[in-house]
Amino acid sequence: MQIAKIRDMSDGEIRSAIDDLREELFNLRVQAGIGTLEDLSRMREARRDLARMLTVLRERELAAELVSAGQKEEA
């Protein structure tokens, strides 16, 4: 998934997508363990998508902290 699409998503949508990706990664690991995984590159792609989503959430958290810290200093 492209980073621009992730940035357009709301926090709730990203969290939902993260849950879905974690479940998918679990299933892919199980398939890899029993030898039925056909598309090995999907694991890598899913891990990277998950990392991108977690990064965007963290960026938003840090931005919110900066805004709240700036408001406290003004008061």
pTM for the whole thing? 0.88
- Euclidean distance between CA atoms 9 and 7, whole angstroms: 5
Q: What is the pLDDT of residue 75?
A: 62
- Which amino acid makes up residue 6? I
- Euclidean distance between CA atoms 25 and 35, whole angstroms: 15
Q: How confident is the model at residue 59 (pLDDT cuts 50, 70, 90)?
A: very high
Percent of the chain scoring above 90 in pLDDT: 87
Q: Which domain holds residue 40?
A: 3-74
Percent of the chain scoring above 70 in pLDDT: 99
CATH code where residue 43 lies: 1.10.287.310
Q: How many domains does the chain have?
A: 1
Q: What is the pLDDT of residue 3?
A: 94
